[in-house]
Structure formats: structure tokens, C-alpha cells
Structure 1
Amino acid sequence: MLPLRSPSTARRFPAPRGLYAITPDGLPAAELLARAEAALAGGAKLLQYRDKLAEPAARRPVAEALAAACARHGAALLINDDAALAQAVGAAGVHLGKDDGDLGAARRRLGPDLLIGASCYADPARAAAAAPHVDYLAFGAVFPSSVKPGAAAAPLTLLAAAKAAHGLPVCAIGGITLANAPQVIAAGADWLAVITDLFSAPDIADRAAAYGCLFAAAGASAEPSL
């Protein structure tokens, strides 16, 4: 039987903490790839390919190109909601929400070496159920989100509580900007998942680098406790 989670989880992340870029919906492929390349050039070490609007057949060539870009920049590609696509393009793993299937089944399918992240919203019970199967827990919306305006508010106190309870890195998402990011890092976030404030910036690479500077200023060079 496959182990639920590798004990070397931390070593499979390309960096211990930092910016987690999530691609916006609905962009033409060439524009999406150009923006993702800029985010990676600016220092994003996790990139999630998320496009709820594209047809399934159109997603594979984009995912393949993103996987190649991540390899060039020493980053990890995760695929939103599609374990089969993640396997097909050699991605580092998947990110799954509450409607994206059973996390235990996903772990059995992907084995111990691919990353799995779980959206836990503002729900500690979901985090507890997910923890044996995943490599990080995501909470949000930590601030009002233009991408998901109806998302439940997730208090920042969830971040440190989840790390203490489950020994996993935690990701914060929802309405994060350069202005409010320092308080999220201070609350214990290992990863800041950003869509709008990153990909709508006039200079995406500079914006990504600015997020990296926030972690450096916070003394975020130490690995998360696992």
C-alpha cells in the first residue's frame, strides 16, 4: 500500500516559502504563457495552472508549455482539479477543492512523490480530514476576493492553528496584495497564492520579485516545520 504522505514532503517543494502564482481564467494561450513566464522570471516558485473556461483539449498544450517554463526557472507546476492532466504533462502535482474528488483516492492514484494541495476555505474540519493525504493546506479568502466574491472569510488565525495541528505548510489565498501581504506572512503563511494583484500588474516580473522581498524581509529563509 502506498504511504499517505512522504516524510520528505518539504524537500519536494522548490523553495520553503514564497509566492504561489495562480493563472487567471480566460486568457488566450500565448498571453497566459507570457504572463506566467514573467511571474516565474520574477521568482514565483509555485505556479498553478487554473483555467475554468478553457476546453479540456485546449488545456494540455498550455500545461505542457507551463511545465517546460517551470523547469527552466526551477519552479513547480501544479494543475488545478485535474490529476490526469498533471500526470500527462509531468507536473509536480495537483491542487484540489472540495468538489474535485476524494483526496485519498487522488493520493493513491498519484503516489507518494507528487504534491497534492487542498482548498480548506475557512473549515478546520476539512483541513483535518485532508491532512493525512496532502502536502499543503490552503485557506481563504483571507481578504475579499474579486475572483471569488462570495467566498467565506477565513481568519488569519487559521494559518498558525493549522500548522500547529497538522505540521504542514499552509497557503493563504483571496484578495492578497503587496499592501496586505506582510500581515499574512506574519500570521504564518508559507505560500501566498495570488492571481489578480500579480497578473494584472504593469510589470509582472517586478511584482513577483516584490513579493519575494516581503518574505526575505520577514526572515522567511527557514523551512516550515514539518
Structure 2
Amino acid sequence: MSARPAPHPLLKGLYLILDPAVRADRPLEEVLQEAAAHGARLFQYRDKLSPMGEAYRRAMALRRAAAETGSLLIVNDRCDLALAVDADGVHLGQEDVPLPHARSLLGAGKIIGVSTHRPEQVEEATEGGADYVGFGPIFPTGTKSQHDPVVGLDGLRAIRPLTDLPVFAIGGITIESVDAIMRAGADGVAVISAVLAASDIGQAVRTFIARLPAADRPAS
């Protein structure tokens, strides 16, 4: 059995999810640029509501901004949109295109992440060739009106031995919870409202990164 390639070096630390429903007052590419200026390097475009044409325009603007700042851009759910803008990869939910199909569409060079909520889903994503997993919700979250049961820090500790992939904790994460999450075995934290809804996005990004272990901070 061949060894798994090393994870992309940016698949750790702060993973900022950009959702126009959370920050409608600013173009998302401006948010990405400000966050990148303060150290963020891993972004996901998540848009559950916009028509495809509008989503495409936003994704193209984000793709350009990510390239200019040396960041990764992952597209949530949509393999077609990820391909259309040549994003760095796609993030799949449990109800999205199956992982093997997504890999055949995107090819070996793209990053594929998978949302997981139970140990068997973590194992399936690992065996199926995902590049990272999101695991949660760790805490209750207001970003989704309906979400899977909260797994807590104990759930995170329980799945850590099941995969050698980078694990991003997601769901209700705040600056105050980062230390405990990283001690429980996460490689990073996926954050939406705690940064996007902040009055000073740059300050929020800096504070999150400062809470990360030195090995999980982006290279300056």
C-alpha cells in the first residue's frame, strides 16, 4: 500500500469560511484580503442562497484575491463551481456528490475536504482519499438552522486516533475555545461568525492565530 502524500502545508490553523449571508455589507474578496493581510491563508467560499451566476462572480473574485495573497480557496459543496473558477478544491457535506465522484471530476491535484459528524464518517473519508476532514459541530452554532447533534470535545478526542488527515473542528467556535480544541487533537479551527461578524476582522484574525500553537500558525 502506497504511503499517503503529506498534507498541503496550509491545511492547518485558522480556516475562515466566507459566507455572504453572514457578512452582506462587504464584498467577500475584501474580507479575504483583509484577513490575509493579518495572517489567514485558508479560505472556503460557502454560499447556500445565491443563484449560480452570482455565486460564480463572487467565486471568481475570491479566486483572484486568494491567488494574489498566496492563499488557498476551497468551494463549499459545488464541484462544478470549483472547476469553473479553478479553485484549489472543494468541501463536501454528507449529502453532496460522493467523494470518489468528486475526485474523478476534480483530479488528483485538487484538495477535497469532507464534513463529518460521527466516527464512521471520519473513517470513510480517510479510506476514500479525502485530504482533510471537518468534524463537528463541536458546540451549538447559529450558522445552521438545523445541524447534526453536538459532538463536544470528547467527540473530537475520540475520532483523533481514527485518521491521519488534518482535522478541522467546526461549530460554535470562539477565541476562548481554541486552546481546548487544539489540545483535544484538532489541527485547526473552521470559523465563520467569530471572524466575519467581528467589527474588526483583522483583529479577530490576529487573535485567533495568536491562540494557535506555533506549529499551526501560517509562515509569516
Compute the displacement of 1:29 (Å): 8.3
Does residue 96 in structure 1 map to residue 77 in structure 2? Answer: no
CA distance in 2, matches of 1:158, 1:222: 24
Matches within 5 A, 1:153-172: 153-172=150-169
Q: Which runs of 5+ in 2 are unaligned?
A: none
- The amino acid across from 1:176 in the alignment is I
Could you tell me which residue of structure 1 aligns to residue 188 of structure 2?
191
Match of 1:71 among 60, 67, 78: 67
Deviation per residue, 1:167-201 (Å, 9 max, x gap): 11101011111111111111111121100010111
Say whether the 8 Å CA contact 1:17–1:220 is kept in structure 2: no
Does residue 129 in structure 1 map to residue 132 in structure 2? Answer: no
Could you tell me which residue of structure 2 aligns to residue 19 of structure 1?
14
Say whether the 8 Å CA contact 1:163–1:169 is kept in structure 2: no
CA distance in 2, matches of 1:53, 1:29: 16
Aligned length in residues: 215
Could you tell me which residue of structure 1 aligns to residue 174 of structure 2?
177
| Bigger Cα displacement from structure 2, 48-57 vs 128-137 | 128-137
Distance change in 2, residues 1:177/1:25 (3 Å): same
| Bigger Cα displacement from structure 2, 40-49 vs 30-39 | 30-39
Q: Which runs of 5+ in 1 are unaligned?
A: none
Say whether the 8 Å CA contact 1:6–1:113 is kept in structure 2: no
Could you tell me which residue of structure 2 aligns to residue 45 of structure 1?
41
Please, what TM-score do these two structures have when normalized by structure 2?
A: 0.89
Please, what TM-score do these two structures have when normalized by structure 1?
A: 0.86
Distance change in 2, residues 1:197/1:28 (3 Å): closer
Distance change in 2, residues 1:114/1:9 (3 Å): farther
- The amino acid across from 2:129 in the alignment is H
Matched residue SS, 1:52: coil
Distance change in 2, residues 1:200/1:29 (3 Å): closer
Compute the displacement of 1:35 (Å): 1.9
Distance change in 2, residues 1:29/1:7 (3 Å): farther
Could you tell me which residue of structure 2 aligns to residue 87 of structure 1?
83
Say whether the 8 Å CA contact 1:24–1:196 is kept in structure 2: no
- The amino acid across from 1:148 in the alignment is K
Matched residue SS, 1:112: coil
Aligned-residue Cα RMSD (Å) equals 2.3
CA distance in 2, matches of 1:112, 1:158: 30
Compute the displacement of 1:24 (Å): 2.3
Distance change in 2, residues 1:83/1:164 (3 Å): same
Deviation per residue, 1:48-74 (Å, 9 max, x gap): 000111111111111111111111221
Matched residue SS, 2:44: strand
Compute the displacement of 1:157 (Å): 3.4
- The amino acid across from 2:19 in the alignment is P
Say whether the 8 Å CA contact 1:49–1:80 is kept in structure 2: yes
